[in-house]
Structure 1
Amino acid sequence: MKWATFDCFGTLVDWRHGISTSAELVAPGKGERLLAAYIRHEAVVQKESPGLRYREVLAESLRRACAQEGVALGDDDVSVLAATIPYWPVFPEVGAELSALRAAGWNLALLTNCDRDLIAETQRRLPVPFDAVVTSEDVGAYKPADAHFDRFRRAHAPDPWVHVAQSYMHDMEPAHRLGIRRVWINRQAERPKDPSIPQEVLPDLHGLLAVVEKAAR
């Protein structure tokens, strides 16, 4: 059975917009600065505490970002990201591109660094249903650890299997390490440390079906 797996935030949902605009609610005019600081802190928090619920990762990473930028947070402010995550916008091309994959016989799954309840809220906004979901809450770890991929492989024995994601560190590196075929959605026009790690590269999801099928061959 052929499977295309996806990271959610950054790949299907505009994670950067969600964090920066949510940060504006508690620190007007500082959303972009807090986004940049947040990105640096989140991976550290996840590595330090792989069993932490994602809503707590969101809160602690925002807390550290605000401390770095000299922004005072109220006690309730640290929950702003978890509160707004169900409303973060889905990229406009997602519906058509995922529908094309499904029409071509691909099963779809999410491998997400998120809690079950938060991804359930987000799925209500995704325009195409998913056949399977693996969360950090399920596996007690955060990507780039292997746990999401290992759980999915054991549960579904996918063949072929193509993983599609925006994050080079969280997704492309472990997928390469584990021998999973992969498509990098390079929305930020980043330069990879090792160009051999992304098997196929797109700037967004437009034309995804052809690239996934190329990667699967």
Structure 2
Amino acid sequence: MTTDPARPGPRDFEVISFDCYGTLIDWESGILAAMQPVISRHDLVSRPDEILAAYARAESAVEAGPYKPYREVLRRTFAGMAKDLGFAPQADELETLVEALPRWEPFPDTLAGLRALAAAGHKLAIISNVDDDLFAATARTLEVELHAVVTAAQARCYKPGDAIFERAFEVFGVAPGRLLHAAQSRYHDLVPGRRHGVQTVHVVRDSGRGDVGAAPSVDPLDAAEPDWSVPDLAGLVALVGA
């Protein structure tokens, strides 16, 4: 579903919430940059899509189990990637993704889009699968005041679980139908958002690598369709008429 100029945009929403990593922050580039020294050290020949697919498989498997802090998720994800890609990780490498995450950068359109939305008076919020202290470093790169932030650490639940969205409705002070949620991942965000009655916007972020945040068993074509679809935050700004 794409944005149709003749189709009405979102209405009667009080808060715009965002997934962070993959939607506002270019985590694909961040993951690949973090993994490049490891790949070189172990003399591996791995394509970017193979590295990202290994990340998606490992992270989804870890998050599907009992709740663990995201730092531990990243450590176990790295170990899972190592097994998948065929190398034995050295002890100091297990912190690779934990140390890299605070340095992951916004997409080129993110800051201008957030500033435009904030200038139009919209309340902006975050729903993210992350620890609070890790997100604090990222928040400084977004350069806008956020109405509220809900993390997996607060809810002790990772998207697409229900508890993190239920906490968001409580913290944001909005009914599900008055929340507009923008995200890149169908699996983590759009499907559960629609399940809860949230208005959803798919920020496509088509890198050609697919949905890095999708669980391997989920076919995006079978997932619930978002209410609207835009290529980037400039598209979201146009959609809501900021």
Tell me if both proteins adopt one fold, taking TM over 0.5 as the criterion.
Answer: yes
Closer/same/farther in 2, CA of residues 157 and 213 from structure 1, 3 Å limit: farther
**Larger RCO, structure (CA 8 Å, separation 6 or more):** 2
Matched, 1:181 2:195: no
Structure 1 pair 196/48, CA: closer, same or farther in 2 (3 Å)? closer
Alpha-carbon shift at residue 196 of structure 1 (Å): 5.2
What's 2:90 paired with? 74
Contact residue 183 and residue 212 of structure 1 kept, 8 A = no
> Does 2:184 correspond to 1:156?
no
Q: 2:147 aligns with which of 131, 137, 146?
A: 131
> Contact conserved, 2:184 with 2:203, CA < 8 A, in 1?
yes
Identical residues among aligned pairs (%)? 38
Distance 1:90 1:11, change over 3 A: same
Q: 5+ residue gaps in structure 2? A: 1-12, 211-218
Query: Could you tell me which of 189, 193, 197 is aligned with 2:221?
Result: 193
C-alpha deviation, 1:85, in angstroms: 0.7
Residue 116 of structure 2 corresponds to which residue in structure 1? 100
Structure 1 runs (4+) deviating above 4 angstroms are none
Indicate if the aligned counterparts of 2:190 and 2:224 stay in contact, CA closer than 8 A: no
Shift of 1:31: 6.8
Q: Secondary structure of 2:233's match?
A: coil
C-alpha distance 212-192 of structure 1, shift in aligned 2 (>3 A): farther
Gaps spanning 5+ residues in structure 1: where? none
TM-score w.r.t. structure 2 length? 0.82
The root-mean-square deviation of aligned C-alpha atoms, in Å, is 2.0
Kindly provide the amino acid, as one letter, of the partner of residue 42 in structure 1: E
Which residue number in structure 1 is paired with residue 52 of structure 2? 35
Residue in 2 that maps onto 1:169: 187
Checking the alignment, whether the CA contact within 8 Å between 1:23 and 1:30 is kept in structure 2 is no
Retained in 2: the 8 A contact 1:166–1:187? yes
Structure 2 residue 60 is matched with structure 1 residue 48: no
